[in-house]
Amino acid sequence: MDTLQLTNQERINELIKMRELSKLAGGEKRIAAQHAKGKMTARERIEMLLDDGSFEEMDMFVTHRNTDFGMENEKYYGDGVVTGYGTIDGRMIFVYSQDFTVFGGSLSETMSLKICKIMDMAMKMGAPVVGINDSGGARIQEGVKSLAGYSEIFERNILASGVIPQLSAIFGPCAGGAVYSPALTDFVLMSEHTSYMFVTGPKVIKAVTGEEISTEDLGGADVHARKSGVTHFKAESEEEGIMLIRKLLSYMPQNNLEEAPVYKCSDPIDRKEDILNHIVPDSPNIPYDMKEVIHTIVDQGEFLEVHRHYARNIIVGFARFNGVSTGIVANQPNYLAGVLDCDSSRKAARFVRFCDAFNIPLLTLVDVPGFLPGSGQEYAGIIIHGAKLMFAYGEATVPKVTVTLRKSYGGAHDVMSSKQLRGDFNYAWPSAEIAVMGASGAIEVLESRKLAEITDPDEKIKYMKEKEVEYKEKFANPFQAAALGYIDDVIEPRNTRFRVIRAFEACQNKKVVNPPRKHCNIPL
Ligand code: HXC
């Protein structure tokens, strides 16, 4: 069409037509195929994610530049990704959403340029980026241009890390290079049964190693939520996943120079909960559910758990105290007695670092019998993984409040936001036991010579019991630590919410700066 001959109205009509074409992307047939799989289109996902009518699209007329394999004859406006900006609860967000109806959402040079433009904008404006992934990976027809495009995105993910929040939703295939951009972001969410992530797919695995495995078992949402921990969240549907992203963002600031939004709190800050006085069983070996404690003390009982299915011996997630967004890390006595192992240490370390990077205060609830002993854990590198958590807490400069509910033994005591790792307020319940190790283990070590001399088994047990009582009187309480000032106060459990809120209030103007350096060298 000779646009020079067109009237202004005809030009406007042409624009409207081009927009319609861009919105149709790969065409009605492919859109129907997408729906038939129980998946939304790229645009439908964005519409659901953002506040009504707030989406402004960019680069909708971009087309690929490839002329190999007859590709010059197959072009679609937008080239497989919808990008732009809009708001969530009135706050600016940049977004990209891969469009599976165009070459399976595969990544071309121009698609990379579109995504990079969005990421650069988000960095410039100091706003989060949400990436919705649904892609067959590198666009095969473009060869190394596509690989280079991925690296351009990776580099931006890396430079944006700790500056703006980056969230990845996986709503379709995500193979090869496509998994690494999400892995570089702060939070990953997968939809059940319609998404998967793996570096190499089942066919390649079979060819190389002979192993036969289904797509779902290799890289489905359930596997990554429970076993690998690659995904922080799994959602039953895309809708649920999108609502979760909106909620998750409400706990975060726009960037590392801001604070998270403070919500109006109608929950009384001095709410006393008698149930907490009875929640810890009298016997130290009987478990209880730490989540009950969390739900009882936070605003309106609302807790957004992160990594719910992975390393369940530690709980991490977001809540609010008097309207202020707070990261919670808590040992879970209900699962493996709340012991620290490789996976739980890594899980919590990453969460602590996210909160610290984005000025979100940390509450740590301690009931930990120690690090999990055994060759399995030692060979898996518990030393290095435990050190990650210690490093993360010791490095963190955000307000840190710690409450020890029951056990706090050995190295795990030091790691779990102890006073000496710059904990600001460290409280304990009267049921706290703070010591190098539990009574029976301690007596085995301290009394080994004496115990070897006692031949009568009944005598031996009697002697051990006596020694354990002696040991417990000295250490199985919070008062030795309180006498030394390592615990700032022993508090009544029912009053925990109020004491935590007061402690965070006292931290409001906290300023701690770490020594200048290029970057730290956290034990990876
Ligand atoms: C170009 C692709 C494509 C790709 C899919 N398509 N993947 N086009 N490059 N990588 C196209 C198909 O030709 C098809 O086009 C349309 O997208 C839909 O694909 P189908 O196969 O019909 O869909 P489905 O059966 O749902 O299977 C989806 C799929 C499969 C599982 C993603 O397409 C697939 O295995 N694709 C290849 C995945 C892959 O190996 N990617 C490279 C990873 S390596 P039509 O015209 O028919 O609609 C990598 C390296 C990056 O990414 C490294 C960076 C560090």
Half-sphere exposure of 312 (CA within 13 A, CB side): 12
Atom of ligand 1 nearest to the CA of 173: 32
Torsion on CA atoms 464, 466, 470, 472, rounded to nearest 10: 60
- 197 in ligand 1 pocket by Cβ < 6 Å? no
Distance 113 CA to ligand 1 centre (A): 20
> What is the CATH number for 279?
3.90.226.10
Q: Mark which of 191, 215, 250 sits at the end of a domain.
A: 250
Residue 2's pLDDT is: 65
Substitution candidate for ligand 1 out of 106, 110, 134, 150 with most atoms within 8 A of CB: 106
Query: Could you tell me if 229 and 321 lie in one domain?
Result: no
Please report, for residues 111, 133, 495, the alpha-carbon distance to residue 25 in angstroms, rounded to integers and kept in the order given: 14, 16, 58
Please report, for residues 306, 341, 417, 419, the alpha-carbon distance to residue 391 in angstroms, rounded to integers and kept in the order given: 20, 15, 10, 14
Query: Could you tell me if 178 and 54 lie in one domain?
Result: yes
| Environment class of 200 (CB within 10 Å of its CB; exposed 0-12, middle 13-18, buried 19+) | middle
Atom of ligand 1 nearest to the CA of 180: 55
Query: Could you tell me if 457 and 424 lie in one domain?
Result: no
Look at ligand 1, atom 28, and give the residue with the nearest C-alpha.
136
User: How high is the mean pLDDT of the chain?
Assistant: 95
**Closest listed residue to residue 357, CA positions, set 161, 107, 201, 184:** 161
Please report, for residues 30, 88, 358, 399, 494, the alpha-carbon distance to residue 327 in angstroms, rounded to integers and kept in the order given: 42, 21, 11, 10, 21
Domain membership of residue 268 (yes or no) is: no
Asked if 463 contacts 447 with a C-beta cutoff of 8 angstroms, the reply is: yes
Domain membership of residue 257 (yes or no) is: no
Look at ligand 1, atom 16, and give the residue with the nearest C-alpha.
104
Domain membership of residue 423 (yes or no) is: yes
Strand 324-331 with 314-321, pairing: antiparallel
Radius of gyration of the chain (CA): 27
Look at ligand 1, atom 3, and give the residue with the nearest C-alpha.
136
Q: Could you list the active site residues?
A: 176-177, 411-412
Query: Could you tell me if 67 and 176 lie in one domain?
Result: yes
Q: Strand, coil or helix: what is 251?
A: coil
State pLDDT tens for residues 284-331.
889 999 999 999 999 999 999 999 999 999 999 999 999 999 999 999
Query: Could you tell me if 244 and 339 lie in one domain?
Result: no
The structure's pTM equals 0.95
CA 461, CA 233: separation in Å to the nearest integer? 48
Domain membership of residue 84 (yes or no) is: yes
CA 20 to chain centroid, in Å, comes to 38
Residue 472 pLDDT greater than 70, yes or no = yes
CA 42, CA 29: separation in Å to the nearest integer? 15
| Environment class of 45 (CB within 10 Å of its CB; exposed 0-12, middle 13-18, buried 19+) | buried
Distance 190 CA to ligand 1 centre (A): 19
CA 421, CA 86: separation in Å to the nearest integer? 40
Distance 174 CA to ligand 1 centre (A): 10
Domain membership of residue 265 (yes or no) is: no
Asked if 127 contacts 164 with a C-beta cutoff of 8 angstroms, the reply is: yes
Query: Could you tell me if 70 and 141 lie in one domain?
Result: yes
Please list, in sequence order, all residues whose beta carbon lies within 8 angstroms of the beta carbon of residue 236, skipping any fewer than 6 positions away.
191, 192
| Environment class of 287 (CB within 10 Å of its CB; exposed 0-12, middle 13-18, buried 19+) | middle
Residue 473's pLDDT is: 84
CA 461, CA 292: separation in Å to the nearest integer? 36
- 178 in ligand 1 pocket by Cβ < 6 Å? yes
Tokens of 253: 């600031």
Distance 134 CA to ligand 1 centre (A): 10
Q: Is the dihedral of CA 223, 312, 398, 393 positive or negative?
A: negative
Query: Could you tell me if 368 and 499 lie in one domain?
Result: yes
Query: Could you tell me if 348 and 388 lie in one domain?
Result: yes
Tokens of 68: 């190999």
State pLDDT tens for residues 201-249.
898 899 999 999 999 999 999 999 999 999 999 999 999 999 999 999 9
Please report, for residues 49, 93, 250, the alpha-carbon distance to residue 253 in angstroms, rounded to integers and kept in the order given: 18, 11, 8
Residue 9 pLDDT greater than 70, yes or no = yes
Asked if 403 contacts 364 with a C-beta cutoff of 8 angstroms, the reply is: yes
Please list, in sequence order, all residues whose beta carbon lies within 8 angstroms of the beta carbon of residue 490, skipping any fewer than 6 positions away.
427, 428, 429, 430, 432, 478, 479, 482
Beta strand residue intervals within 232-275, DSSP E = 233-235
CA 290, CA 306: separation in Å to the nearest integer? 15
Please list, in sequence order, all residues whose beta carbon lies within 8 angstroms of the beta carbon of residue 173, skipping any fewer than 6 positions away.
104, 134, 135, 136, 137, 195, 196
CA 414, CA 61: separation in Å to the nearest integer? 57
pLDDT grade for 86, boundaries at 50, 70 and 90? very high
Residue 102's pLDDT is: 95
Angle at 48 between CA 117 and CA 239, to 5 degrees: 115
From 34-48, 101-115, 429-443, the region with the lowest mean pLDDT: 429-443
Domain membership of residue 190 (yes or no) is: yes
Query: Could you tell me if 223 and 306 lie in one domain?
Result: no
Backbone angles phi, psi at 311, to 5 degrees: 45, 65
Domain membership of residue 262 (yes or no) is: no
Query: Could you tell me if 85 and 189 lie in one domain?
Result: yes
Q: Looking at the 3D structure of the chain, how many domains does it have?
A: 3
Distance 55 CA to ligand 1 centre (A): 28
- 198 in ligand 1 pocket by Cβ < 6 Å? no
Strand 56-58 with 81-88, pairing: antiparallel
pLDDT grade for 175, boundaries at 50, 70 and 90? confident
Atom of ligand 1 nearest to the CA of 138: 52
Query: Could you tell me if 148 and 15 lie in one domain?
Result: yes
Domain membership of residue 515 (yes or no) is: no
Domain that holds residue 162: 2-250
Residue 69's pLDDT is: 86
Mean pLDDT confidence for 80-85: 97
Residue 156 pLDDT greater than 90, yes or no = yes
Contacts made by residues 447-450, CB under 8 angstroms, sequence distance 24+: none
CA 270, CA 494: separation in Å to the nearest integer? 10
Look at ligand 1, atom 15, and give the residue with the nearest C-alpha.
103
Cβ neighbours of 36 (radius 10 Å): 8
- 175 in ligand 1 pocket by Cβ < 6 Å? yes
Mean pLDDT confidence for 71-86: 92
Look at ligand 1, atom 8, and give the residue with the nearest C-alpha.
103
Atom of ligand 1 nearest to the CA of 105: 17
Backbone angles phi, psi at 95, to 5 degrees: -145, 145
From 59-63, 436-440, 513-517, the region with the lowest mean pLDDT: 436-440
State pLDDT tens for residues 326-354.
999 999 999 999 999 999 999 999 999 99
DSSP code for 87: E
Query: Could you tell me if 469 and 412 lie in one domain?
Result: no
- 219 in ligand 1 pocket by Cβ < 6 Å? no
Atom of ligand 1 nearest to the CA of 26: 48
Per cent of the chain over pLDDT 70 is 99
Look at ligand 1, atom 41, and give the residue with the nearest C-alpha.
137
| Residue count of the chain | 524
Residue 398's pLDDT is: 98
Half-sphere exposure of 11 (CA within 13 A, CB side): 7
